[in-house]
A and B are shown apart, each in its own frame.
Chain A
Amino acid sequence: MAKLEGKVALVTGAARGIGFAIADKLAQEGASVVLFDLCAEEDGVAAAAKIAEERGVTASFKRCDVSNYEAVQTSVKAVIKEMGGVDILVNNAGICRDKVLLAMSEQDWDLVLNINLKSMFNTIKACYRNFMKKKAGKIINISSVSGLMGNAAQANYTAAKGGVIALTKTVARELATRGVNCNAVAPGAIETPMTASMDQEALKALLATVPMGHMGKAEDIANCVAFLASDDAKYITGEVIRVDGGIAM
């Protein structure tokens, strides 16, 4: 039997890149998936339809700005009503606006912090009561090795991703006795549309530090998330798993 059969997974930033790979992998393991993204409606619908068709599960798309508190509360409430609850929450939505701190505007800072960190407060809060009622749940937050190590020209991104790790540990502690696991995955250099748009110099410098000598794939992250979402990881909480070819060891 598929490991996640009967489960409902909500994945943010799921229309493309790592988020899509995660939603697709969870669906492959039997979960019904709900994709949140701020992309064009037709792109999100197409992404969900692709997963539904290829994996034979229920997959739907909701256009949602995860940095908007009210929008997230409303959208998640609707999902909980439609799907009968959420079992797995994967907080993946993220952007980067890389500049050295001196050149970084207040808007660059706020935007990245809101989308990469505040969004997780929004979604976790929206799902909190649902998890408490179920006395079960898996929360998986996508951080980054740069949140562990720092990275020049990424003050906003690294601060957000470091914050994700602290948030993960706090939520893990709050809900540990309620049957809810909360963990983070810290990707290294992964081939995605987002890394393709990254400052090439920063990307090159990052790649030079990968002991395995090559970039990872979105599927590498998805496999780790699927493990954390399954009962194989039931005694793991508050952990950060690096999927980085050895960058931050």
Chain B
Amino acid sequence: MDIFAKVAAVLADHTGRDASELTPETTFESLGIDSLETVEMVMELEEELDAELELDQKVTTIGELVSFIESKLG
């Protein structure tokens, strides 16, 4: 499963940007997304992935979030 693609799609939907502009190094700050919005996005992904992710650490880039989700999915 391509988690990066899923995260990028949700982010693109939230920010109105093209998913192709997003890279693992893109920071949430640069997208104007605060930490609570990141949590909300993860909740959205939880439903999509049908998994409990419970973001309990600060993530600053898309790549960090992808790694976190991958670690939770095993």
Contact = CB atoms under 8 A, between A and B. Distances in A.
Do A and B interact with each other, yes or no? yes
Interface of A: 129, 132-133, 174-175, 177-178
Interface residues of B, number: 5
A129 B54 contact: yes
Contacts of A178: 36
The main secondary structure of chain B at its interface with chain A is helix
Contacts of B36: 132, 174-175, 177-178
A178 B39 CA distance: 12
Interface of B: 36, 39-40, 43, 54
A143 B29 CA distance: 35
A178 B43 CA distance: 14
Contacts, number: 12
Which 8 pairs across A and B sit closest by C-beta, in order of nearness? A133-B43, A132-B39, A132-B40, A174-B36, A132-B43, A178-B36, A129-B43, A129-B54
A175 B43 CA distance: 16
Contacts of B40: 132
Given A129-B39, A129-B54, A133-B43, 9 more contacts: A129-B43, A132-B36, A132-B39, A132-B40, A132-B43, A174-B36, A175-B36, A177-B36, A178-B36
A133 B43 CA distance: 8
A175 B37 CA distance: 11
12 contacts: A129-B39, A129-B43, A129-B54, A132-B36, A132-B39, A132-B40, A132-B43, A133-B43, A174-B36, A175-B36, A177-B36, A178-B36
Contacts of A174: 36
Nearest to B40: A132
Most buried by B among A129, A132, A174, A178: A129
Contacts of A129: 39, 43, 54
Nearest to A178: B36
B27 to A, nearest CB: 21
Contacts of B43: 129, 132-133
Contacts of B39: 129, 132
Q: Which of B36, B43, B54 has the most CB of A within 10 A?
A: B36
